[in-house]
Structure 1
Amino acid sequence: MRRKTVGNKVVSVLLAGALAASLAACGGNTANTGADAGNNAADAGTKEDTKSAETETAADTEESSDAAVADSGYEAKDLGGRTIKIGLWWDEYWDSNYQSLDDIEAAGGSWTNEETMQMKLDAVRAVEEKWNCKIEWVNLGWDGIIDSINTSVTAGTPDCDIYLTDLQFGISPVANGYVQKISDYAPADSDILTDGTVFTRQNLLGNDDYLFHESTTIPSGAMYMTYNAAMIDSLGLEAPESLAEKGEWTWDKFAEYAKACTQDTDGDGNMDVYGYGSAWTPTVQGFCASNNATIADSSTEGLSDPKTVEAFNFIDQLYNVDKSARPYQDDWNNDLLAFSSGKVAFAFAQPWILIQEIDNHDFDMRICPAPVGPSGDGSMTPAMITNNYMIPVGVEDATSVYCVFEEMMNWYHDDISYRDDPEWFESGFVDEDQVTLANKLGALANNDLWNSIDSEGAVSKVFYGDVVNGDSTVSQAIESNKQILQDEIDTLKIQ
């Protein structure tokens, strides 16, 4: 039985071939690097950033540790000194190998908030004592974690009790029966099956019983339309946010703005600034969502859905008819970051990109709702792709493993103000109104997983075949590739 408590601030990752194809199509782990950076920002800096007085921390630590043992949520089971291993692809510095902040520093670790790092260490001590176990974060590396899943998990003898997975390699083991169901091991009154303060289940094409991630109230993985406010002002154009409030921010209006922003600024006869430009994946994600279109969020492909066809036709219009979109360079960073050098007025970007680029330009980049397509209603934004945990088949006593993990990950004792520090997220936006809008739009994220499952590149073949190469029309490209995507979805059917 789980005893739910609320603490206060004082006490307070199958087939090798399929995986290889998926990674080749998705370009390794680059797709989600930014989300990872956002989710882990709180522990990515140096200890000097917000260091507290050591004497005060020491006193709080003793009180906090005692309270953590007393207030933990499940009745303990003696695990006989078992080491619970959590596999991932970077270093974490709060487990049984670290007894103090000095140990972390000596190992080359760092933190941005001394208080919360100490709280994490206290949580480890608490579960160690209560469950008679040890905790170990195991840095397997990106290639290593894939190899471990491909070998040990498929053999039924997993190297780790819990794996953190990128969806590029996390869905396949689920579909092939190598992952235990959450509902089979989590207690009925567990956080993950009730209020979801600590963990949130990941929906995979209609099934949310296998993968889970840390809950958050901050949409650090959201994707927004962003624009060069100085350029819009200089052209005497009304702010897109204002148009959106009046219901006038549509694809037609956006097309007008994009044309107006496309200019030959140096008079050499060649356009050097364009209305829109970004990498191809956020372009597809953004304009599909703005038309309420999803390509892979159920057991049926959505590539041939009329709403998706409309989105690709609009993208084709921008690039090949109006020519108000910057010619595609097929260079990821060149395309993705064109907004930062003032080469485009509008783009789609995630918070981590805005934060990364904030010192690389001298103009305000603001966000706005994406313009609404003919089949859209403003209620959908692109999916927030997260990393997810799984407990593989072959892990003994998965219930205890889960309970220990939940208690440890609830190091903040349900006081989410410690976990969800908004400072990093908010630093990507120019004012409070923009932060409010960012939170509002982030709550509208869809569950379109095509960018994580399309190992055969069906969607990219449509974009490149039509927009980039002009080898076919949108309809022809979609007709040629829709079954490829459906076949991929069929191989990932989850029971």
Structure 2
Amino acid sequence: MKKIGIKILSVSLAAVLSAGLFAGCGSSKNTVKKLEDTSINGEAAADLTFIRPGQGTDDKNDAVIKAITEYEQLYGVKVQVISADYDTWTTKVLSASASGSPIDVIFGSVSEYPLFAMKGYTQPIEKYIDTNSEYMSRSASEAFFSFKNQIYCAAVSDVSPLVLYYNKDMLDQSGLDDPMELYKKGEWTFDTFKQMCKTLTVDTDGDGNTDRWGLCCWYPWAWLGANHTALCKINENGLYELNLSDPAVVQTSEFVQDMYYTSKWRGIDGDNIYTSFYQGRNAFLQEYSWSETNNIIPAKKAKQFDFEYGVVPTPYGPNNTEKTNVAHASGYGIGTGSKNPYHAGKLIEMILKSVSEEAKEKNKEVPEENLNLYKELGKSIFNDTFYDSAIKNGSEYFDLVCGGSNIQTSLSSIKPIYEGYIEDANEAAQS
């Protein structure tokens, strides 16, 4: 079986960013006056370093670059944007930390925490950042970026739940119920969704080959979160702990294996889930809600598809009695040992404001009912990604599951490998 890409989410996010160079952001036409007093809490302003994978400096309209440029003008200093891609950026964070010259402002997502905190790459931020700001999501910061009751990364205000976009026309023509109506009635479950997708998976031209599927998706491991479980969790001592014996893990694995291998109602025409969805090869597209403004609406405008689409939450598994939702969030932390943590905090606040304002502008094109749904789902988040940075998304296990391997055998074979990962991660927290 072709290996499932562990970096697909990161690469998808990178699509909205430019390639980066190690450089200060330089001047801008819209200048602001330098502050008379550039110190913060007695800390003198100085040049800062910043890292975010895929972040370029050429696009002056980029929300992050706009904030950095304004900060440079206000404080009369330079911010160096460190060039890094998704394969190398964490190595650069580690190298800088080990060298005694830590990066001041460090991007973070659900894939890096709590490991960044456990390994000491970043530090608690509440002393340096207003964590109750309207431009920051405190709830997401606590859910995704806290460690031992302290917040290590300030999450952007626009949290993205994992949802399903669907082809309303296709479902209507197939005589199927509208998923959103099923959701409202409390009937949007794994079983309901699976049966619907199996019905929609057909050979449309009679050549003996399936050419339309129920679902296109990139994140098989995310279904664990939809069933309120994970391969790994954090115990009361703040340490990683394997969760492979949880019956919900087996239950979810069986669901995913049926999706990918047994019944094969997940499929794509080509390598791109968006193109496959736009061309009517799939009824459902699973993606985080940021994709509506970044991908789906622009594609609709460009007439890449002409059907009416809807959106519905990812269905809830039988173990998810609390109806919690998988979501994605990103944010910014301060490197441990930064010589200018107060100024790093100020830069983060300015970035959060700029990003929030950009998101608000983009969201004007999103139907109001969709925005209301995203907001509602964001109130009840289940952080299924505690295993992300510790055991590499669980992708090695899901390679086996999606390839048809026996689930119990797969769990047994992967256990010693994951135990090694967990031991390594926990050593940092205990040192």
TM-score, normalization by structure 2? 0.76
Shift of 1:363: 1.8
Does residue 156 (structure 1) correspond to residue 100 (structure 2)? The answer is yes
Shift of 1:306: 1.3
Considering fraction of residues, name the structure with more strand: 2
* Aligned partner (choices 270, 291, 313) of residue 254 of structure 2: 313
Does residue 347 (structure 1) correspond to residue 285 (structure 2)? The answer is yes
Question: Corresponding residue for 1:45?
Answer: none
Does residue 32 (structure 1) correspond to residue 1 (structure 2)? The answer is no
Residues 179-234 of structure 1, C-alpha deviations (whole Å, 9 max, x = no match): 44446xx25xx513x56755754645844647313431x22x43212222111011
Percent identity between the two aligned chains: 19
Question: Corresponding residue for 2:220?
Answer: 283
Q: 2:284 & 2:353 partners in 1: Cα distance?
A: 40
Q: How many residues align?
A: 401
Shift of 1:368: 0.7
Shift of 1:390: 3.1
* Aligned partner (choices 457, 467, 482) of residue 415 of structure 2: 482
Q: Is the 8 A contact 2:334 2:345 kept in 1?
A: no
Residues 40-85 of structure 1, C-alpha deviations (whole Å, 9 max, x = no match): 9xxxxxxxxxxxxxxxx98xx77xx58x779x9x854262x63223
Does residue 247 (structure 1) correspond to residue 183 (structure 2)? The answer is no
Highest CA radius of gyration, 1 or 2?
1
Question: Corresponding residue for 1:104?
Answer: none
Shift of 1:305: 1.5
Question: Corresponding residue for 2:334?
Answer: 390
Does residue 215 (structure 1) correspond to residue 156 (structure 2)? The answer is yes
Q: Is the 8 A contact 1:167 1:388 kept in 2?
A: no
* Aligned partner (choices 306, 313, 317) of residue 373 of structure 1: 317
Q: 2:83 & 2:65 partners in 1: Cα distance?
A: 23
Does residue 405 (structure 1) correspond to residue 344 (structure 2)? The answer is no
Question: Corresponding residue for 1:87?
Answer: 51
**3-state SS in 1 of match to 2:242:** coil
The within-5 A match list for 1:23-422 is: 30-35=8-13, 76-77=41-42, 79=44, 82-90=46-54, 108-111=58-61, 121-126=69-74, 128=75, 134-142=77-85, 145-158=89-102, 160-165=103-108, 174-182=117-125, 186=127, 190-192=129-131, 197-198=135-136, 201=141, 203=144, 206-207=147-148, 209=150, 211-216=152-157, 218-219=158-159, 221-279=160-218, 282-285=219-222, 287-298=223-234, 299-326=240-267, 333-334=271-272, 338-354=276-292, 355-357=294-296, 358-359=299-300, 360-377=304-321, 379-386=323-330, 388-393=332-337, 395-396=338-339, 398=341, 400-406=342-348, 408-409=350-351, 419=357, 421-422=359-360
Q: 2:9 & 2:332 partners in 1: Cα distance?
A: 15
Aligned CA distance change for structure 1 residues 275 and 485 (closer, same or farther; 3 Å): same
Shift of 1:352: 4.4
* Aligned partner (choices 440, 453, 457) of residue 389 of structure 2: 453
Question: Corresponding residue for 2:401?
Answer: 466
Shift of 1:264: 1.7
Q: Return 5+ residue gaps in structure 1 as ranges.
A: 1-23, 41-56, 94-107
Q: 2:378 & 2:124 partners in 1: Cα distance?
A: 28
Q: 2:95 & 2:353 partners in 1: Cα distance?
A: 32
Q: Return 5+ residue gaps in structure 2 as ranges.
A: 19-28, 235-239
**3-state SS in 2 of match to 1:422:** helix
Residues 304-362 of structure 1, C-alpha deviations (whole Å, 9 max, x = no match): 32112111111223344444333x89x7x345753233222123112344442534322
Q: Is the 8 A contact 2:49 2:82 kept in 1?
A: no
Q: 1:137 & 1:166 partners in 2: Cα distance?
A: 21
Does residue 444 (structure 1) correspond to residue 392 (structure 2)? The answer is no
Shift of 1:267: 1.6
Q: Is the 8 A contact 2:68 2:347 kept in 1?
A: no
Q: 1:454 & 1:118 partners in 2: Cα distance?
A: 34
Q: Is the 8 A contact 2:171 2:178 kept in 1?
A: yes
What amino acid sits opposite 2:9 in the alignment?
Answer: A
